[in-house]
Amino acid sequence: MEEGDELVYLRASLHGPAGQLLWYLGPQVTLADFIRLLCKHFGTMDQAEQFCTELQTRHRRDGEMLQELYNNICHLMSLAYPGLTTDLCNVVGRDAFLEALGNPSLRVRTLEKVSTTMEGTLRIVLNLEDLDKSKKAEAKAMVGPQDKVVEEPGKRKDVSAKV
């Protein structure tokens, strides 16, 4: 297929905001110019710094599942550092995920378990959170009946009574 045909097919297939870019182009535009303009308006290459900032400032929302947070951190990592899958990216992603938890104690306990991958870190955090929940439930179940202050009419006297 020739470049002219490719440009015609590309122009015909665009709709919405991408199709509106055609208004900016003159009749002598090349396929390379058109692709460059599309990348500038819809690509993420010039937005990497913005995604890095989002990654550093991401915090877990109330009621947000760990898997949702993890997926969002992975997505931001791929946008902030496109194409990189090195050990350094795993460390940066892991640290961003642990910071986003907003729980310093959980962060330290997770780091003590030493995981070099984001997936391993997620598994550790899931296990530690489950352990924390079961400990809280166990502690709550072990709490016995509370003492209650009973007041007699006309007198104020503390008497312990089981409820």
Which of 31-40, 43-52, 150-159 is least confident? Answer: 150-159
Question: In this model, does residue 93 exceed pLDDT 80?
Answer: yes
Average pLDDT of every residue of the chain = 79
What confidence category does residue 2 fall into, taking pLDDT thresholds of 50, 70 and 90? confident
- Between 99 and 114, whose confidence is greater? 99
Give the DSSP H/E element, type plus range, for residue 132.
Answer: helix 118-142
- What CA dihedral angle connects 77, 81, 82 and 84, to 10 degrees? -100
pLDDT at residue 151, rounded to an integer: 57
Give 148's strand partners.
161
What confidence category does residue 163 fall into, taking pLDDT thresholds of 50, 70 and 90? very low
Question: Which of 81-90, 96-105, 113-122 ranks highest by mean pLDDT?
Answer: 96-105
Q: Quick: pLDDT tens for 4-19.
A: 778 778 778 877 777 7
The pair of structure tokens assigned to 48 is 């990497």
Helix and strand totals (H; E) in the chain: 8, 2
Q: Mean per-residue pLDDT for 86-115?
A: 88
38 burial level (CB within 10 Å; 0-12, 13-18, 19+) = middle
Question: In this model, does residue 143 exceed pLDDT 90?
Answer: no
